[in-house]
Chain A
Amino acid sequence: MPNQDEVFAKVQEALVDALGVDEDEVQPEATMVGDLGAESIDFLDIIFKLEKAFGFQFKREDLYPEDILTNSQYVQGGRMTAEGLAALKQRMPFADLTRFEQNPAVQEFNNLLTVQDLCNYVAMKVGS
């Protein structure tokens, strides 16, 4: 099983390749959408590259839970309901949702996922 540094190095390489960003822009605290400019289609590309790097199957929905964010059962008036937040937590146990919970506006979700979250996700999947 790869250690934290190895996971970060491979994630960094995948993001540089998929998003066309510089290596030094890919810092653990950088947000995928806000700082690195990832769009929804890029998450599919990132998944492809992570699979190649780690030899594991990943799911785009785990990183970009569009089905939850657009579900009227979970979103009301542009904000996540308590039920929606619970669904997100279940889907994304690797992400720190504390800040998002304070202002769960759907548009804020884009600035949630960080490179560190992505590393946590990979480590969780590879470890399991």
Chain B
Amino acid sequence: MRWFWIDRFTEFVSGKYARAVKCVSLTEEAVDEYCPGYPCLPSSVVIEGMAQTGGLLVGQLSDFRERVVLAKIGHCKFVDIPRPGQRLHFLAEITNLQPNGAYVVGRIERDGELFCEMELMFAFLDDDKFAKVEQFEPAAFLRMLRLLRLFDVAVTESGEPVRIPPHMLEAEKTLLASPIP
């Protein structure tokens, strides 16, 4: 099972906000098995979806070099439970950015109505402590970003397209050129 809790980005303004969409499907194991007989998307993975939306928004500011981790969930309020067949619209906005972390406010709408809101705090893993720890392998990470269509919609504040970071393209090229094991 892939750990994707959004389906794709629909809007992405670097350093500001990102919108993503998630279609809840009965095909998903988590939906079918979390509460047998009452299919629903667990709240924890809805939060994870916002963490992915907001985390990638924050990570893009460093060309995805910074190791961004979800450190804390502040306020989080759900007004209902997401059910199969529903579409969730995520909006993550950066409200505070520091050299060692960021705060993101998230809102999720369903059928045009507020469904959930939360505050997430992200921390950047310290360079000294985690110098040898790679959070994601760059080529695999780029593949994930492509699947989520991030670069299809991402723009800078002035409206210029956000380019794929060269180090990721290089890693992808190296991977594609390597022999299949």
What is the size, in residues, of chain B's interface with A at 8 Å between Cβ atoms? 10
B123 at interface by CB-CB < 8 Å: yes
Residue on A nearest B126 in the bound complex, by CB: A66
Interface residues of B in 61-119 (CB under 8 A from A): 71-72, 74, 96, 98, 100-101, 103
Residue on A nearest B102 in the bound complex, by CB: A48
* Cα of A47 to Cα of B71 in the assembled complex, Å: 14
* Cα of A60 to Cα of B121 in the assembled complex, Å: 14
Q: Mark A5-21, 1 if CB is under 8 A from B, else 0.
A: 00000000000010000
Chain A interface, >50% SS class: helix
* Chain B: minimal CB distance from A101 (Å): 27
The reply to whether A48 and B121 form a contact with Cβ atoms under 8 Å apart is: yes
The reply to whether A45 and B96 form a contact with Cβ atoms under 8 Å apart is: no
List residues of chain B with CB within 8 A of the CB of A17: 74
Chain B interface, >50% SS class: strand
* Chain A: minimal CB distance from B148 (Å): 27
Residue on A nearest B99 in the bound complex, by CB: A59
* Cα of A44 to Cα of B98 in the assembled complex, Å: 9
A41 at interface by CB-CB < 8 Å: yes
Interface residues of A in 40-92 (CB under 8 A from B): 41-42, 44-45, 47-48, 51-52, 60
List residues of chain B with CB within 8 A of the CB of A44: 71, 98, 100-101, 121, 123
A-B pairs under 8 A by CB, number: 27
* Cα of A47 to Cα of B96 in the assembled complex, Å: 10
* Cα of A14 to Cα of B155 in the assembled complex, Å: 34
* Chain B: minimal CB distance from A124 (Å): 19
The reply to whether A60 and B100 form a contact with Cβ atoms under 8 Å apart is: yes
The reply to whether A45 and B121 form a contact with Cβ atoms under 8 Å apart is: yes
Interface residues of B in 116-145 (CB under 8 A from A): 121, 123
List residues of chain A with CB within 8 A of the CB of B96: 48, 51-52
List residues of chain A with CB within 8 A of the CB of B72: 41-42, 45
* Chain A: minimal CB distance from B173 (Å): 37
List residues of chain A with CB within 8 A of the CB of B74: 17, 45
List residues of chain A with CB within 8 A of the CB of B100: 44, 60
* Chain A: minimal CB distance from B129 (Å): 9
The reply to whether A48 and B123 form a contact with Cβ atoms under 8 Å apart is: no
* Cα of A44 to Cα of B121 in the assembled complex, Å: 9
Residues of A within 8 A of B (CB): 17, 41-42, 44-45, 47-48, 51-52, 60
**New A-B pairs, 4, CB < 8 Å, besides A17-B74, A44-B100, A44-B123:** A41-B123, A45-B71, A48-B98, A48-B121
Sampled A-B contacts (8; CB under 8 Å): A44-B98, A44-B100, A45-B71, A48-B101, A51-B98, A52-B96, A60-B98, A60-B100
